[in-house]
């Protein structure tokens, strides 16, 4: 036997096993068909997308039979106050409807799209998804993963319940993809104790003032502006600020098509960002920080400023009670999209999606949706979790609200779009965070950042 | 015996040997055929599919895909992140191989001499192999955190200037990931080398010691040449592990950051497939890793092939 040849065969096979075991995604030819509708999508590509979702409800389960609704969410009752409210709703619903069981599966937001889409391919997707309207989920309606809810708002008695802007945030081409549950706002938090110790008289409103404040804070022995340069926290700050710098019209064009390197305003913005970064505005090692380490640094009183979302209002430690003032993001130079400090605020944080599988249980889902969206439960979300709500008229006990939440309601700021969420093709949504993560790395030049931005659109 | 008869006998013997060899070949292939067949069926299809997917523009598993030929390969060689990942993987491979294998070999030799307590030590060395990757990552997170064990002791002994945010510092993130592999790898490979070196006859060492050989000589001039074939297999395993399996530690500890400072090829493949959802491009990276794996393996096997066998 030729040992060399035999060895080579085995080496190739073992390599293949190692590599494929870890890396190979499912074959693109896997092509599930919506159970209630024949696949009729034209085969214009190498592999076909799953069939479009049925626009009408399919046959409901036989009456009298016990029904299970599978719900997937990142709200974990063990660690997230919103999860506790969700759990209460599910338990109350099951008590009122003994023939229905609600099974809640917890999946981190970052894994949600993969989890939903792989289960969709296996025709095992959950019936209801509680998830945001970002990146991949924006295509779920077109891809047939979820069914449009436009016809059901009225049928389910929910007409007039939601703010128009909230419905608009979850709509595509006039079709409602999900019922809005949670909104957010995203200001800058200032630790006024630290600012005072550093001799910063007022919270900064421009990048020049921000740079000046940061240097004073550093001199006083604190970290200045902490943000998660490595993850979405820094990325979303960058992608919000660039909208304020460019204005909606330019940002929409650039984020849809690329061409940043050739755009004078984009170039000026990135150069200003690099200058600010190199002036030490951000906390040390900002390029290695992420959501948890960012919050930890601010909550422990080590940093003067943080870009924190409304989802964290309820988490403010007691030691910082009364010491934190909210403000808008300071204006970048020559901003075309904002006239005063601004924030990114929308209702895209959480929606109630009904999947293709769920469309086979629409009667039960209707019952659950009507139960879920009752004012008393939505008020619980607001009162217990400082949730920004998407409803036209919701009564809740304002005396129990988080002080930061109350402060945010009175904030006088401009609202800008998140450039990538609003205009970038969904297939580059996540890749934008690679670009922004590198932008926070000291030494990355403006040219490198602009090139990386354009490379996404090749 | 005449010359003709001799020739005839020789031919007959050759034919007989040839038939025997053929029979052995056939028997050999028949015996291993079920395993090879099964393995091939399971492996070849997905393997071909990997090459096929690498020629697709495919942006998510529920999305349609289109054939783009070699476009993904052209993109690969113009991708600055790919080159950073390649460089980091090279560093990871070099450091891990040059540290883990020699140290493990020496420790394995030490254990094979069966010193007092060697059974206990063998168990201790094996412990990293019994820890799951997330458990291992949690242990090292405890070490690396800003207020973690390493910084605590550095402050305790007055070396405050060496205190780092180990996973968030571009200068230390890759090293922090490599250290996990070193810690886990040394123990694991020590146990494997111990098992191999335990089969080496003690008389060889005793004879060498009588001739005045030091332990260093025993290890590298006697034990190593005897075990070079096994050593080569270990090099291949470690090489493949770092090349393909290192993604998990990067994912759990640094996410490839800060920036691209701890980005490795395996993790870059993961990120493109599961975070950025460039499935076709991710498999292009997979094909590259596959090719490097084959070439590296063949090279290592050639270098470590035993030379004293006639």
Asked if A437 and B257 come within 8 Å (Cβ–Cβ), the reply is yes
Do both B80 and B196 map to the same domain? yes
Does residue B267 carry a pLDDT above 80?
Answer: yes
Which is more confidently placed, B236 or A52? Answer: B236
How big is the CA angle at B25 (ends B24 and B27), to the nearest 5 degrees? 65
Contacts of B257 in chain A (CB under 8 A): 230, 287-288, 437
State the Rg of chain A over Cα. 24
Cβ partners under 8 Å of residue A213, min gap 6: A195, A198, A200, A203, A204, A224, A304, A305
Contacts of A290 in chain B (CB under 8 A): 255
Do both B226 and B287 map to the same domain? yes
**Banded model confidence at residue A116, pLDDT cuts 50, 70, 90:** very high
Summarize pLDDT for B142-163 with one digit per residue, the tens.
999 878 899 999 999 999 888 8
How big is the CA angle at A109 (ends A104 and A114), to the nearest 5 degrees? 90
Do both B148 and B259 map to the same domain? yes
Does residue A54 carry a pLDDT above 50?
Answer: no
pLDDT above 70 coverage of chain B, percent: 96
Do both B11 and B83 map to the same domain? no
Q: What pLDDT does residue B269 have?
A: 95
Do both B33 and B176 map to the same domain? no
Does residue A296 carry a pLDDT above 60?
Answer: yes
Asked if B60 and A427 come within 8 Å (Cβ–Cβ), the reply is yes
Q: What pLDDT does residue A71 have?
A: 97
**Banded model confidence at residue B38, pLDDT cuts 50, 70, 90:** confident
Q: What pLDDT does residue A15 have?
A: 54
Do both B83 and B37 map to the same domain? no
In a domain, B82, yes or no: yes
Measure A189 CA to nearest chain B CA, in Å. Answer: 23
Q: What pLDDT does residue A402 have?
A: 86
Q: What pLDDT does residue A61 have?
A: 53
Do both B103 and B216 map to the same domain? yes
Quote the ipTM score: 0.72
Question: Measured between alpha carbons, how far is A306 from A410 in angstroms, rounded to an integer?
Answer: 19
pTM for the structure as a whole? 0.78
Q: What pLDDT does residue B260 have?
A: 86
Summarize pLDDT for B273-306 with one digit per residue, the tens.
988 889 999 999 999 999 999 999 999 888 887 7
Do both B168 and B275 map to the same domain? yes
Strands (E), B129-184: none
Does residue A234 carry a pLDDT above 50?
Answer: yes
What is the domain-level CATH number for residue B290?
1.10.3720.10
Q: Which residue has the tokens 């000046």?
A: A212
What average pLDDT does chain A have? 87
Summarize pLDDT for A371-417 with one digit per residue, the tens.
999 999 999 999 988 899 999 999 999 888 888 999 998 999 999 99
Q: In this complex, which of B40, B240, B277 lies closest to A427 when CB atoms are compared? A: B277
In a domain, B50, yes or no: no
**Banded model confidence at residue A25, pLDDT cuts 50, 70, 90:** very low
Q: In this complex, which of B258, B279, B283 lies closest to A288 when CB atoms are compared? A: B258
Q: Picking from A35-39, A112-116, A146-150, B174-178, which range would have the lowest pLDDT averaged per residue?
A: A35-39
Are A437 and A409 contacting, i.e. CB atoms less than 8 angstroms apart? no
Q: A183 by DSSP, 3-state: which?
A: strand
* Mean of pLDDT values over B218-244: 92
Summarize pLDDT for A298-342 with one digit per residue, the tens.
999 999 999 999 989 988 999 999 999 999 999 999 999 999 999
How big is the CA angle at A31 (ends A25 and A37), to the nearest 5 degrees? 150
Does residue A149 carry a pLDDT above 90?
Answer: yes
**Banded model confidence at residue B102, pLDDT cuts 50, 70, 90:** very high
Is B27 near chain A, with CB under 8 Å?
A: no
Contacts of B274 in chain A (CB under 8 A): 114
Summarize pLDDT for A430-449 with one digit per residue, the tens.
889 989 998 998 888 999 99
Residue A67 is inside which H or E element, if any? strand A67-73
In a domain, B132, yes or no: yes
Are B100 and B238 contacting, i.e. CB atoms less than 8 angstroms apart? yes
Which is more confidently placed, A416 or B17? Answer: A416
In a domain, B54, yes or no: no
Is B59 near chain A, with CB under 8 Å?
A: yes
Q: What pLDDT does residue B266 have?
A: 94
Does residue A40 carry a pLDDT above 60?
Answer: no
Q: What pLDDT does residue A31 have?
A: 35
Q: In this complex, which of A285, A293, A444 lies closest to B169 when CB atoms are compared? A: A285
In a domain, B207, yes or no: yes
Give φ, ψ of B187 to 5 degrees.
-65, -45
**Banded model confidence at residue A75, pLDDT cuts 50, 70, 90:** very high
Q: In this complex, which of A114, A284, A441 lies closest to B274 when CB atoms are compared? A: A114
Q: In this complex, which of B36, B258, B297 lies closest to A441 when CB atoms are compared? A: B258
Does residue B128 carry a pLDDT above 60?
Answer: yes
Asked if A288 and B63 come within 8 Å (Cβ–Cβ), the reply is no
Measure A62 CA to nearest chain B CA, in Å. Answer: 30
In a domain, B48, yes or no: no
Cβ partners under 8 Å of residue A160, min gap 6: A392
Do both B81 and B166 map to the same domain? yes
Does residue A451 carry a pLDDT above 50?
Answer: yes
In a domain, B110, yes or no: yes
Asked if B75 and A458 come within 8 Å (Cβ–Cβ), the reply is yes
* Mean of pLDDT values over B3-13: 72
What average pLDDT does chain B have? 89
Do both B243 and B97 map to the same domain? yes
Report the residue of chain A nearest B292, measured CA to CA: A15
Are A31 and A47 contacting, i.e. CB atoms less than 8 angstroms apart? yes
* Mean of pLDDT values over A238-259: 96
Q: What pLDDT does residue B117 have?
A: 87
Total domains, chain B: 2
Do both B124 and B243 map to the same domain? yes
Domain that holds residue B136: 73-303
Do both B225 and B138 map to the same domain? yes
In a domain, B224, yes or no: yes
């Amino acid at each position: 036997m030729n040992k060399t040849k035999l060895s080579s065969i085995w080496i190739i096979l073992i390599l293949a096993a190692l590599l494929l075991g870890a890396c190979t995604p499912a074959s693109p030819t896997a092509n599930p068909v919506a159970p209630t509708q024949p696949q009729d999508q034209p085969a214009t590509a190498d592999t076909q997308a799953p069939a479009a979702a049925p626009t009408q409800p399919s046959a409901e389960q036989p009456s009298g039979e016990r029904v299970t609704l599978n719900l997937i969410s990142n709200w974990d009752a063990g660690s997230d106050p919103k999860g506790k409210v969700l759990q209460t709703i599910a338990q109350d619903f099951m008590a009122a409807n003994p023939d229905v069981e609600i099974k809640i599966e917890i999946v981190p937001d970052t894994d949600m799209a993969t989890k939903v889409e792989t289960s969709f391919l296996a025709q095992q997707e959950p019936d209801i998804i509680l998830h945001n309207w970002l990146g991949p989920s924006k295509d779920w309606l077109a891809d047939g993963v979820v069914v449009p809810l436009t016809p059901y708002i009225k049928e389910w008695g929910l007409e007039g319940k939601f703010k128009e802007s909230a419905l608009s945030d979850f709509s595509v081409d006039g079709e409602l993809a999900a019922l809005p549950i949670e909104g957010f706002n995203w200001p800058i938090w200032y630790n006024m104790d630290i600012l005072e110790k550093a001799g910063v008289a007022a919270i900064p409103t421009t990048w020049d003032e921000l740079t000046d404040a940061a240097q004073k804070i550093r001199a006083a022995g604190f970290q200045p502006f902490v943000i998660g340069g490595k993850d979405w926290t820094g990325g979303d700050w960058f992608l919000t600020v660039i909208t304020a710098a460019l204005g909606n019209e330019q940002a929409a064009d650039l984020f849809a098509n690329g061409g940043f390197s050739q755009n004078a305003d984009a170039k000026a913005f990135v150069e200003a960002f690099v200058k600010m970064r190199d002036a030490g505005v951000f906390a040390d090692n900002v390029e290695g920080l992420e959501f948890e380490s960012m919050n930890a640094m601010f909550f422990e009183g080590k940093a003067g400023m943080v870009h924190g979302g409304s989802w964290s209002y309820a988490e403010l430690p007691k030691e910082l009670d009364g010491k934190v003032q909210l403000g808008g993001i300071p204006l970048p130079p020559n901003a075309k999209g904002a006239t005063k400090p601004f924030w990114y605020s929308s209702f895209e944080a959480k929606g109630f999606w009904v999947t293709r599988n769920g469309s086979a249980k629409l009667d039960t889902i209707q019952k659950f949706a009507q139960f879920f969206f009752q004012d008393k439960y939505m008020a619980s979300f607001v009162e217990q979790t400082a949730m920004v709500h998407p409803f036209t008229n919701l009564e809740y006990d304002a005396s129990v609200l988080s002080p930061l939440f109350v402060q945010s309601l009175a904030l006088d700021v401009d609202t800008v779009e998140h450039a990538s969420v609003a205009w970038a093709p969904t297939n580059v949504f996540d890749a934008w965070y690679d670009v922004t993560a590198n932008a926070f790395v000291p030494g990355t030049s403006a040219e490198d950042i602009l090139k990386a931005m354009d490379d996404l659109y090749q | 015996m005449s010359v003709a008869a001799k020739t005839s006998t020789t031919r007959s013997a050759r034919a007989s040997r040839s038939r025997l060899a053929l029979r052995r070949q056939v028997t050999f292939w028949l015996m291993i055929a079920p395993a090879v067949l099964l393995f091939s069926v399971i492996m070849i299809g997905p393997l071909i599919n990997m090459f096929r997917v690498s020629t697709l523009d495919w942006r998510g598993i529920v999305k349609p895909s289109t054939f783009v030929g070699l476009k993904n390969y052209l993109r690969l060689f113009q991708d600055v992140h790919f080159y950073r990942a390649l460089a980091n993987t090279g560093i990871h491979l070099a450091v891990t191989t040059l540290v883990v294998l020699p140290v493990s070999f020496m420790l394995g030799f030490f254990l094979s001499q069966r010193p007092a307590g060697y059974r206990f030590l063998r168990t201790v060395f094996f412990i990293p192999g019994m820890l799951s990757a997330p458990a291992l990552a949690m242990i090292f997170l405890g070490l690396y955190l800003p207020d973690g064990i390493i910084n605590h002791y550095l402050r305790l002994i007055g070396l405050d200037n060496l205190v780092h945010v180990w996973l968030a510092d571009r200068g230390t993130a890759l090293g922090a990931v490599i250290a996990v592999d070193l810690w886990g790898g040394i123990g694991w490979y020590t146990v494997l080398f111990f098992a191999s070196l335990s089969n080496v006859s003690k008389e060889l060492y005793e004879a060498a010691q009588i001739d005045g050989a030091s332990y260093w000589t025993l290890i590298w001039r006697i034990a190593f040449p005897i075990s070079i074939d096994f050593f080569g297999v270990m090099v291949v395993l470690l090489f493949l592990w770092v090349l393909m399996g290192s993604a998990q530690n990067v994912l759990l500890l640094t996410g490839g950051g800060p920036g691209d400072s701890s980005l490795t090829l395996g993790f870059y493949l993961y990120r493109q497939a599961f975070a950025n959802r460039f499935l076709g491009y991710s498999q292009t990276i997979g094909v590259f890793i596959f090719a490097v794996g084959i070439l590296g393996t063949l090279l290592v096997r050639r270098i470590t092939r035993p030379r004293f066998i006639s």
